[in-house]
Structure 1
Amino acid sequence: MKKQEKIFEVENLTAKVKEAKSVVVADYRGIKVSQMNQLRDKVREIGGELQVVKNNLFYRALDQNNYEIEKTKLDGPSLALFANNDEISPLKALANFGKTLGGLLPFK
């Protein structure tokens, strides 16, 4: 990713974090593409958004919004959930989906 693309991505993530009522990060290791698409659709239906994020860029976006997180927590493949309309329903959907997958999608 070129520097200009990284700057644009950080700005985009910063705006999403600022607008969201809540933000959760999960590890998506072991999730199939079809399962990920199914989860994205379900979360989108209830007013949320899922995005696979680059850890360093997401850390910068959180920092620019004055959120504190240990950098070591953002390790491995990360999936960000932005709850835009309802703070709770998208989080429940993510947690329930993780349960159906046998404990996959641990929150970071």
Structure 2
Amino acid sequence: MGVSMYAPPGRCEGERPTAVYLQEIIVTSTAKGPASYFPSIEKTYGHPVEHWLTLLRERQAGAKHMALVNWLKSEHGLGHGHANALVAHLLAGTK
């Protein structure tokens, strides 16, 4: 069997994709805006998104968007795009 563009990477045509792979496709194809970064954030940093949102909620009191982004980057080593997505999601839900 050959490799198919419809098969997950590393799998051959006719092999069934794993549930994790399918879930990642569903989440990334249906998520819009900041939430589209969530699967990558969880995979990259090893914590669920709720972990990061809890930390942000504890720190949020009166802080501006970029102050929270910079805090995630400097204290927790997140990349700018991931930090920005988490803060944007949190602040959109609190307005």
TM-score, L = length of structure 1: 0.27
Instruction: Identify, as 1 or 2, the structure richer in strand.
Output: 1
Instruction: Identify, as 1 or 2, the structure richer in helix.
Output: 2
Higher relative contact order (CA 8 A, sep 6+): 1
TM-score, L = length of structure 2: 0.30
Larger radius of gyration: 2
